[in-house]
Structures are given as structure tokens and as C-alpha cells.
Amino acid sequence: MGNYFYPMYNSMFYWMSGWNPFIWLAPLALIDLILKGFALWKAGRNNHLYWFIALLFINSLGILPLIYLVFFEKKNKK
């Protein structure tokens, strides 16, 4: 039969990740969740309604929350 019935073994991701092409999915999802939660919290505290809505509904794998946290968050002056 060969490997024709198992497309995972024929894909290029199989040999790149060692044994599982989805091994990177859990850490990336966790990083995205942490960044999104922190950015939503900061946008809510700073009364940035449009940023809060954009961060809530746009899933960009952590890119949009990172842009907000680096460039648009209010800096605390003490």
C-alpha cells in the first residue's frame, strides 16, 4: 500500500518538525493568547475603544497586539 493513505507522512512538514507538524501550534497559541490578553487589558485601561475592538475581533497571530503594545500604548510618566 505504501504511504498513499497517510498524507501526513508525505508532506514536507513531517521531516521538518521531526515527528509532528503541529508541534508548534500549542506554543504559538499560548503566546498569542498572552499577548492578546495583555493588549486587551492595556487598551481597556487606556480607554482605547477602537484598539480594544480591533484586538478583540482580528486574529493576527500576535502581530496586532504586539504593534499596539510597542507603538500605541500610553507610557506612564512618573
User: Greater confidence, 15 or 63?
Assistant: 63
In a domain, 53, yes or no: yes
Number of structural domains, the chain?
1
Cβ neighbourhood burial of 17 (10 Å; 0-12, 13-18, 19+): exposed
Domain limits at 51? 22-72
- Whole-number average pLDDT of the chain: 79
Q: State residue 78's pLDDT score.
A: 61
Q: Which residues fall within 8 angstroms of residue 48, CB to CB, at 6 or more apart?
A: 72
Whether the model clears a pTM of 0.85, i.e. scores above it, the answer is no
Distance between CA atoms of 76 and 78, rounded to whole angstroms?
A: 6
In a domain, 27, yes or no: yes
In a domain, 5, yes or no: no
Averaged over 15-22, what is the pLDDT?
59
In a domain, 49, yes or no: yes
State the pLDDT confidence band at 23, using cuts at 50, 70 and 90: confident
In a domain, 16, yes or no: no
Q: State residue 9's pLDDT score.
A: 56
In a domain, 31, yes or no: yes
